Amino acid sequence: MLREGSAGVISGTGHVFTMKMHNDEMGDYEMSNHVVEYEPGRRIGWEPVLKAASRPEDQPEIGSRSGHRWTYELTPLGSGSTLVTETYDCSSAPEWLRNAVKGGARWTASMTATLEKLDALSQSG
């Protein structure tokens, strides 16, 4: 889904980074991601906000903070290994969004693929 990202170095909560995205349902869209949790080398959490959308039905959601959050947590395991945990939390999102993402289950396959790619990249050098 990720097409392009721009962040620079994330320095803490309050930082905003942008991701240009695409999926078959929404087409092209862009997200502003507001960093709400940050511990260098250990944790980053952000709340996505729709910044631009190609579908007319998504236009009313532009700029709305919907109360859902993505988080990556890094846990050092020793000997150069790190456990990466990705979490999607939509418990504070409006009902329509919780239903649309099936309580977060919609993202399980994508999250698994992302973590597998990260693992492969980390082992390749």
Residues 10-68 pLDDT 10s:
889 999 999 998 888 888 899 999 999 999 999 999 999 989 888 888 888 888 888 99
pLDDT range class, residue 125, cuts 50, 70, 90: low
74 pLDDT exceeds 80? yes
The structure's pTM equals 0.85
Q: Which CB contacts under 8 angstroms, 24+ apart, belong to 5-12?
A: 10/35, 10/38, 10/44, 12/38
Sheet of 16-23: strand order equals 2-6, 16-23, 27-39, 43-53, 69-78, 81-89
- The reported pLDDT for the residue numbered 66 is 87
Fold of 2-123: Alpha-D-Glucose-1,6-Bisphosphate; Chain A, domain 4 (3.30.530)
User: What does the radius of gyration of the chain's CA atoms come to, in whole angstroms?
Assistant: 15
